Amino acid sequence: MEFTLQIVLILACLFYGARKGGIALGLLGGIGIVILVFVFRVAPGKPPVDVMLTIVAVVAASATLQASGGLDVLLQLAERILRRNPKYVSILAPFTTCTLTMLCGTGHVVYTMLPIIYDVAIKNNIRPERPMAASSIASQMGIMASPVSVAIVSLVAFLAKAPAGSPIIDFVTLLSITIPSTLVGVLMIGIFSWFRGKDLDKDETFQQLIADPEHRKAVYGDTATLLGKILSNSQWAAMWIFVGAIAVVAMLGAVVSLRPVVGDKPLSMVLTIQMFMLLAGALIIVFTRTNPAMIAKNEVFRSGMIAVVAVFGVAWMADTVFEANLPGIKAALADVVKTQPWTYALALLIVSKLVNSQAAAVSAMVPVALSIGVPPGYVVAFAAASYGYYILPTYPSDLAAIQFDRSGTTHIGKYVINHSFILPGLIGVFSSCVFGYILATARGLV
């Protein structure tokens, strides 16, 4: 009964916060966490500090890039490609963010791309919701296709301890199934997103928004095309510094031996990203004519900081509830999985939503599944189901996408569950699971 009341409390805060919009979504989490701790006497969960600091570091670097004018270089290059056939941005953007995640081992790299994707879409009069929501979902799906992600490394370790007589599934075999199945899922998301929602010129809500000159200016920003604009050496330098930092992060993610050993294991990718993003911002200031005072005044910085507050309140509140009730939930789901192995995917999806982490979901469910007799082939085939935290729009990348989309097309619906990410998420994960099952069957694993 208490768990039901706690879920109702979370939903009430989400509903009201979503209706108020902006920073209110995070602040409403404060009401929820106080009631949970002081009324229900639940131990407070852990605020997502690593996630928040990663957002701060990436947003600071991106805002510095924008203040330096270096963002115009990237936008100009992207615009040259997309203007040839701009309708494909809904497919190209999610593949870009998915690839970055595969290289870096974390979906948090998406924050770098979101303002660029938005600008390319809106300046080509493409509904921003299409590539924005798809890119956020694809960035998280890439985790199960990344050889350096915590989720994949954990999964390999658990599969190595599978009961005797089970098919041997090593690192290469695992990735040979998760990589293609992930890419198929991202492709399905892109195709769906290409057609979703109304075109901007037919969207009454959007047209009412831009009828106000001030709102139109905020939505479109500088409406002049960047094609033909002469960019300074300082802008190019800022762009190369930023892209170079991303390349170094990707290389460090792909080659673990390049990272220093801290304690008894390599430096985490979360800290690596934070370090190199701060470094990128600092180098841009040192080597270009960027005015530091302008960094905190641009839209990238403002939207990013709103996302930090939203993540702080919402994720802390949700973690408090689910951490307190996880043992009972896990036991109930395990009973279902034992009788019907295919329901492992559904159980993994639900647990992922509860813990808001693919690595945590894998750590919670895979040992249980293997111990109660679920064939390892099913575990591999349905690996994509470890991504279920798109079900409610509480994850940082989703909240950031909403904030970066100044057109309002990427949104949380009136009923919360009808948000911009639910359909791309369901389509992507379902497609990946189906294709993963086909591949696992062809390999004789199921």
pLDDT tens for 129-141 read 999 999 999 999 9
| pLDDT value at residue 228 | 72
The model carries a pTM of: 0.72
| pLDDT value at residue 224 | 42
Q: In the predicted model, is pLDDT for residue 388 greater than 90?
A: yes
Tell me the pLDDT of the chain averaged across its residues: 85
**282-298 average pLDDT score:** 92
**288-297 average pLDDT score:** 91
Q: Name which residue leads in pLDDT, 156 or 378.
A: 378
pLDDT in tens, 188-247: 999 999 999 999 999 999 999 989 888 888 888 764 456 677 889 999 999 899 889 888
Q: In the predicted model, is pLDDT for residue 359 greater than 50?
A: yes
| pLDDT value at residue 124 | 86
| pLDDT value at residue 43 | 92
Provide the 10 A C-beta neighbour count for residue 228. Answer: 7
| pLDDT value at residue 350 | 86
Q: Name which residue leads in pLDDT, 93 or 304.
A: 93
User: Are 341 and 375 within 8 A, CB to CB?
Assistant: yes
| pLDDT value at residue 222 | 61
Contacts of 437-444 with C-beta under 8 Å, sequence gap 24+, read: 437/381, 437/382, 439/176, 439/177, 439/180, 439/181, 439/381, 440/177, 440/377, 440/378, 440/380, 440/381, 441/377, 441/381, 443/173, 443/176, 443/177, 443/377, 444/167
**Out of 25-29, 257-261, 322-326, which region has the weakest mean confidence (pLDDT)?**
322-326
Q: Is 265 helix (H, G, I), strand (E, B) or coil?
A: strand
Q: Residue 175: pLDDT band by 50, 70, 90 thresholds?
A: confident
User: Are 150 and 409 within 8 A, CB to CB?
Assistant: no
**143-164 average pLDDT score:** 80
pLDDT in tens, 25-82: 789 889 999 999 999 999 998 887 877 887 788 888 888 988 998 878 876 776 677 6
User: Are 80 and 321 within 8 A, CB to CB?
Assistant: no
Q: In the predicted model, is pLDDT for residue 442 greater than 50?
A: yes
Q: Could you write out the DSSP letters of every residue in 225-263? A: -STTPPPPHHHHHHHHHHHHHHHHHHHHHH-GGGSPEET
| pLDDT value at residue 165 | 67
User: Are 3 and 325 within 8 A, CB to CB?
Assistant: yes
| pLDDT value at residue 278 | 95
| Percent of the chain whose predicted confidence (pLDDT) is above 70 | 93
Residue 40 corresponds to which amino acid?
F
Q: Per the structure, how many domains does the chain have?
A: 1
| Bridge partners (DSSP) listed for residue 262 | 265
| pLDDT value at residue 75 | 67
**256-272 average pLDDT score:** 85
Domain extent, residue 297, equals 2-442
The dihedral built from the CA positions of residue 22, 27, 32 and 36, taken in this order, carries a sign that is positive
Diameter over CA atoms, the chain: 69
